[in-house]
Structure 1
Amino acid sequence: MMKQAAATEGNIEKGPLPPPVRRWRRLGGLFDLFLRLLALSGTIAALITMATADETLPIFTQLFQFEAKYSDLPAFTYFVITNAIAGGYLVLSLPVSIFNIVKPRFAAIRMFMVFFDTVMVAVVTSGAAAGAAIVYLAQKGNNHANWFAICQQFDSFCQQAGGALIASFAAVVFLMLLVALSAINLYRRRA
């Protein structure tokens, strides 16, 4: 009886998947693709918004001007770079995600994606956190360090930086959902 059950189990693994399992895996693959597209849109929106954030403030005359742009602060430069890296990865991972919809049985590809999705969560989170610290200083300043709040003068720049942070943190959430979805799919594959 045990040998027959083991033989039946072996045949199920080698044969075609039953319709409910096949539907679940395809639906999981479609949801994976959808989350990748959402994360990609968040990283690209954050990248473009921060990279185009630029405001010039004339003080006394046109000769004396103060300019605020993302490249003036290393934390914002890091923010732009991390979102560019994550956006590039997400673009490259789209064909793999589509392949997982067509051929949902390859666990090695899922493991590869879980690893790099987790790395991208860390990368985007670190960039967004660095940007958030600078936006907080720009909004509130720091009296102990004699750093003045600049958002009263550079209102447009601060609004764009805040919008870029929102998009980047949204991308972090979508990437975390991707990792969770991939882990669930891998678990279900083994169960």
Structure 2
Amino acid sequence: MASEAGEKQESGRGKVTGSKLDLALVLLRLLAFFATLSATVVMALNKQTKTIVVATIGTVPITTTLTAKFQHTPAFVFFVIANGNASLHNLLMLVVGFMGPKWNFKGLAHLAIPVLDLMNVAIVSGGASAAVFMGQLGRDGNSHARWNKICDKFDSYCDRSGGAMIASLVGLMLMTVICSVNIIRLRNHNSNKIVLDSSVNVVP
């Protein structure tokens, strides 16, 4: 009887801890969703057109109009795709979380969700790293390769790109925390399962 009472107490503690982790996970997912969505929208809508003087003939300046868009840089295109995919993933995971046990076929959700989270962390990390590299190149250039900087000409474009990168990195940190919380939930789930199995096997 004493062992059964102890097992029930441990099970109750596990449920309380699980509910707190579930609430924390929902809040983290919401924040990560808004962060990656902001990064996607800001970068996707980022555009600046500027007219610059390229030459002067006598006193007549020769000008040209240039437009900077995220589509011109493959790294920024990947950045938009990666963060858009992460936003969709977090939104779907929130829906799955609210649907509850209906989506947890034989406990597969406990394993599938952490794996999908890790995949999205890897994708967003790659997109953010590529974008930050191109951003640094656009701001400072590369004198060894003779690549000129462009942020002195397209300052607004670079500022908005930097804001999108910061939002993406914030989302990446939140998603990393989400992965850690999922691992803790998985451990607690397995511990509770072991406790329940042992209570069933107790001889009265």
Tell me how far apart the structure 1 counterparts of residues 49 and 103 of structure 2 sit (CA, whole Å).
Answer: 53
Tell me how far apart the structure 2 counterparts of residues 138 and 80 of structure 1 sit (CA, whole Å).
Answer: 18
Query: Which aligned pairs between 1:16-165 and structure 2 lie closer than 5 A?
Result: 17-18=11-12, 20-60=13-53, 64-100=64-100, 107-165=107-165
> Quick one: which amino acid aligns to residue 162 of structure 1?
G
Greater fraction of residues in strand: 2
> Quick one: which amino acid aligns to residue 93 of structure 1?
M
Where does the alignment leave 5 or more consecutive residues of structure 2 unmatched?
54-60, 192-204
Which of the two has higher C-alpha Rg?
A: 2
Count of residue pairs brought into register by the alignment? 181
8 Å contact kept, 2:128–2:165:
yes
8 Å contact kept, 1:25–1:101:
no
Tell me how far apart the structure 2 counterparts of residues 102 and 24 of structure 1 sit (CA, whole Å).
Answer: 22
- Residue identity (%): 29
Moved more, 21-30 or 157-166: 21-30
Where does the alignment leave 5 or more consecutive residues of structure 1 unmatched?
none
Change (3 A) 1:101 1:160: farther
8 Å contact kept, 2:31–2:171:
yes
Corresponding residue for residue 200 of structure 2: none
Query: How far apart are residue 21 of structure 1 and its match?
Result: 2.6
Query: How far apart are residue 103 of structure 1 and its match?
Result: 10
Tell me how far apart the structure 2 counterparts of residues 99 and 24 of structure 1 sit (CA, whole Å).
Answer: 20
Query: How far apart are residue 26 of structure 1 and its match?
Result: 1.2
> Quick one: which amino acid aligns to residue 38 of structure 2?
A
> Quick one: which amino acid aligns to residue 119 of structure 1?
M
Q: If the length of structure 1 is used for normalisation, what is the TM-score? A: 0.85
Tell me how far apart the structure 2 counterparts of residues 124 and 103 of structure 1 sit (CA, whole Å).
Answer: 26
Moved more, 106-115 or 135-144: 106-115
Q: If the length of structure 2 is used for normalisation, what is the TM-score? A: 0.80
Tell me how far apart the structure 2 counterparts of residues 98 and 151 of structure 1 sit (CA, whole Å).
Answer: 44
